Structure 1
Amino acid sequence: MLDEYRKTVAAQTLWATTAQTAPWNIAFQNHVRALPRLARLTLNLSLQCRLRLRNTYAARHLRGQGMEIGAQYVPTQVGEGASVEYVDVLSNDELVARYRLPADGLVPLAHVIDGHDLKVYPDNALDFLIANHVLEHFDDALKGMIEWFRTIKPGGHLFITLPNFRGNCFDYERAPERADHFLLDYTCPEGREARNRLHYEDMAKSLLHLPRDHPDVQNMVDRWIANGDRHHYHVWDETALQELLEVAAKEMQCDLMLVDGSFPKNGFELLAVVRKGHPGGALEWRAPKIRAAVTFCKAVYDDIQSYQRNLSMA
């Protein structure tokens, strides 16, 4: 059974390829194969168990009335004493039509709104806000972060996950930004269009393994912009998220505190639960490494048990 589970876990990144497989997916697989064994195992297990981990942290901390952005088919499972409504930038009908998605299983939407402009929610309206793999699609990450915390009550929580740039085929050859860049995007919007193009050029040249000025890179970027696509403007590691939150706390003049989270260097995603405090402007960041390791091991154990039960019922 464990050998079959190991193959299932390995297939999280080393999936079967065909003649139609994009070359950047093949390049990423080669990158994963070259990783040290422990790093490769961490990446695959964190990808395999990502929903289980999210649900564990959400049930641990989220209470009251909250909202999740962009849940689509995989809403985060909160615990007893919590209720969630869902928003997305496109209606479910638009999602189905644009991306050829199946209609069944999409969460019902309370509002069709952009995640960085939540004007339908008054200040301090929510006990929590959930955003899984959303912020990387914002070209002004600081503005989005400030808007999210505007809607959260003092004592409430932001639950956020971001793709770890080291474990994502679109990001692993790019470099995370730091506080000065996030602040520049926020304070100098007139230059953001040019900066966005540079981000897309970074992404395209990393996918195609071609120079920035190569026609294929420029054509790919032109298509993304013409289509109105919102790919990964920025890529993320723990330091990038921490520095963004530090700048957000100062700009809002509100204290923030990391109360829980998981930041494995070679994992698939970063997860943070951040509490909104009282007026101030400081971020308290003490990553709970031991608790995160225990939570991760428990999620893997539970996943193995679930896999075994499913095999026995097959």
Structure 2
Amino acid sequence: MREASKSIMRRLTDSRFATRYFVGEGIDIGSGPDPISFYAELFPLMREVRSWDLADGDAQYLEGVPDASFDFVHSSHCLEHMRDPLVALRNWLRVLKPGGHMVVLVPDEICTNRAFSPRRSTPITNVPSRCTRRRPGVPAR
């Protein structure tokens, strides 16, 4: 819960979130009670963010959201709850404008200690091998 609040300080240490990633109009998938729009003043180039949560429909399909309609897609701790994460990622990319940015955070089982906090989640076993974990400060390949 309150996943955006937990990661906001880390995002402020990387200027690309304010100057590149959270720029223009975006969608916050699975925003719940803590959408990134609460922190808009920290990202001055962020114009508008649509929150998408359970009441809006299935986040896996984003039905009714036009193709290429957002400059950025943000989702924190939602992808692991999709029935088919790859279908969700395809649809999240579908609503992203060409050249846009997608920021997706998923929990690390070791760090979140799943043994003591079990939740229904879908194992992402069929994600292509080119999708690898990146550490902060390590450039993408």
Q: Structure 1 length normalisation: TM-score?
A: 0.35
Where relative contact order (Cα < 8 A, 6+ residues apart) is larger, the structure is 2
Unaligned runs of at least 5 residues, structure 1: 1-47, 91-111, 171-205, 208-229, 247-260, 265-287, 291-314
1:81 is displaced (CA, Å) by: 2.1
Q: How many positions carry a matched residue from both structures? A: 125
Whole-angstrom CA distance in 2 between matches of 1:153 and 1:167: 33
Counterpart of 1:271 in structure 2 is none
Identity of aligned residues (%): 26
1:147 is displaced (CA, Å) by: 0.6
Whole-angstrom CA distance in 2 between matches of 1:74 and 1:114: 19
Whole-angstrom CA distance in 2 between matches of 1:54 and 1:242: 26
Whole-angstrom CA distance in 1 between matches of 2:138 and 2:62: 33
> What is the 5 A alignment of 1:90-239?
90=55, 112-170=56-114, 231-234=120-123
Whole-angstrom CA distance in 1 between matches of 2:106 and 2:134: 11
Q: Which runs of 4 or more aligned residues in structure 1 lie more than 4 Å from their structure 2 counterparts after TM superposition?
A: none
**Please, what is the CA RMSD of the aligned residues?**
3.1
Whole-angstrom CA distance in 2 between matches of 1:138 and 1:117: 10
**Relative to structure 1, is the Cα distance of residues 140 and 131 closer, same or farther in structure 2, using a 3 angstrom cutoff?**
same
Pick one of 24, 28, 46 that aligns with 1:68: 28
Residues 131 and 161, structure 1, Cα contact 8 Å, conserved in 2: yes
1:87 aligns with 2:52: yes
> What is the 5 A alignment of 1:8-47?
none
Pick one of 1, 7, 10 that aligns with 1:53: 10
Q: Structure 2 length normalisation: TM-score?
A: 0.72
Whole-angstrom CA distance in 2 between matches of 1:124 and 1:160: 17
**Relative to structure 1, is the Cα distance of residues 75 and 161 closer, same or farther in structure 2, using a 3 angstrom cutoff?**
same
Pick one of 108, 116, 129 that aligns with 1:243: 129
Secondary structure of the corresponding residue to residue 115 of structure 1: coil
1:241 is displaced (CA, Å) by: 6.5
Whole-angstrom CA distance in 2 between matches of 1:55 and 1:69: 20
Structure with the greater alpha carbon radius of gyration: 1
Unaligned runs of at least 5 residues, structure 2: none
Residues 61 and 87, structure 2, Cα contact 8 Å, conserved in 1: no
1:73 is displaced (CA, Å) by: 2.6
The C-alpha deviation readout for 1:36-66, integer Å capped at 9, x for no partner, is xxxxxxxxxxxx9633124555324221111
Whole-angstrom CA distance in 2 between matches of 1:63 and 1:125: 13
1:233 is displaced (CA, Å) by: 1.5
Counterpart of 2:44, as a letter, is E
1:262 is displaced (CA, Å) by: 5.3
Residues 88 and 113, structure 1, Cα contact 8 Å, conserved in 2: yes
1:119 is displaced (CA, Å) by: 2.2
**Relative to structure 1, is the Cα distance of residues 149 and 245 closer, same or farther in structure 2, using a 3 angstrom cutoff?**
farther
Structure whose residues are more often helix by fraction: 1
**Relative to structure 1, is the Cα distance of residues 241 and 74 closer, same or farther in structure 2, using a 3 angstrom cutoff?**
farther
